[in-house]
Amino acid sequence: MDHAEVLALFDRDMRDGARPDGPGAVVDRAGSVVRQVGAEQGWSGVLWSQLEGTDVDAVITEQVRYFTGLGRGFEWKLYGHDRPADLGGRLRAAGFTPEPEETLMIAECGELRLDAEPPEGIELRPVTDRAGVDLMVDVHEQAFGTDSSPLRHQLLAQLDADPDTVVAVVAIAGDVPVSSARMELTPGARFAGLWGGGTVPAWRGRGIYRVLVAHRARIAADRGYRYLQVDASDQSRPILGRLGFVPLTTTTPYVYDPR
């Protein structure tokens, strides 16, 4: 894999050429930035910026004015190769708060190791209805300790309006959900995005996360996607590396809360 070439392709497909991430979301280009306004409880933020040669602080101020005018908090998704190099500092000075840095990892579907099988007693169950979403949200809240009502709202909307754009799966031990994950499939893109992989504390370290990655990767390959993309935490990065993912850059959410 040519890292620079794939990173440039990712920027074109998934950032500069971004499509809405769900029903009711709108993506538009405002001068030197591409931004999304999400549906109710959906994600809103700046996906892409090309700010060299512009008044950077004025562009930041305009985005704050735009989103707060809509009554929205929002995220500026900053990547390690974005310019200018001091953009993160400028965002902090404008009132944004950085969340933990993650690593953008990408793999070619055809080069991944996809032979991982569920451990004994674990069944993978596709999420296709409200009952499945309830199981997935339960796992998500246990795994990450966060309110998952936005995830519930997003998944229900996608499954109702455009089910081909999302693949969600829950790992079940008996009748108990112990791990879950989803994959976003953008029509026309070459990258499928892996999101939300998490396991409840008592079931970690048994290879379930690896199985969920392999499961989604097989589906992406079958549907014609060339690459898989993950914003990897420090915990998932070693597992993904062993599967064949490579790190290309970092990504940091800079969050603006109008409150």
Instruction: Kindly state the average pLDDT of the residues 198-215.
Output: 92
Do domains 3-103+252-256 and 108-249 share one topology? The answer is yes
Query: Structure pTM?
Result: 0.93
Residue with tokens 């001068």: 31
pLDDT digits (tens, 9 = 90+) for 111-167: 887 777 888 899 999 999 999 999 999 999 999 988 889 899 999 999 999 999 999
The DSSP annotation for 59-97 comes to HHHHHHHHHHHTT--EEEEEETT-SSTTHHHHHHHTT-E
The pLDDT of 203-229, averaged and rounded, is 94
Helices 149-161 and 130-144 cross at an angle (nearest 10°) of 150
Mean pLDDT of 50-65: 95
Bridge partners, 256 (sequence order):
74
On the 0-12 / 13-18 / 19+ scale of CB atoms within 10 A, 115 is exposed
Domain ranges of the chain: 3-103+252-256, 108-249
| Percent above pLDDT 70 for the chain | 100
CA–CA gap between residue 150 and residue 140 (Å, rounded):
11
| pLDDT the model gives residue 146 | 86
On whether the CB atoms of residues 166 and 182 are closer than 8 A, the answer is yes
Mean pLDDT of 163-179: 95
Say whether domain 108-249 belongs to CATH 3.40.630.30: yes
pLDDT of residue 53: 87
Quick one: average pLDDT of 45-53?
94
Return the H-helix or E-strand segment holding 216. Answer: helix 208-222
Mean pLDDT for 51-55 is 91
Looking at residue 41, its pLDDT comes to 83
Residue 69 neighbours by CB under 8 Å, 6+ apart: none
What average pLDDT does this structure show over 226-245? 93
CATH fold of 3-103+252-256? Aminopeptidase (3.40.630)
How high is the mean pLDDT of the chain? 94
Return the minimum-mean-pLDDT range out of 24-33, 55-64, 115-124, 185-194: 115-124
Residue range 50-61: mean pLDDT, rounded: 94
- The predicted pLDDT at position 96 comes to 98
User: Strand 102-108 vs strand 45-49: parallel, antiparallel, or unpaired?
Assistant: unpaired
Check: CB of residue 192 under 8 Å from CB of residue 218. no
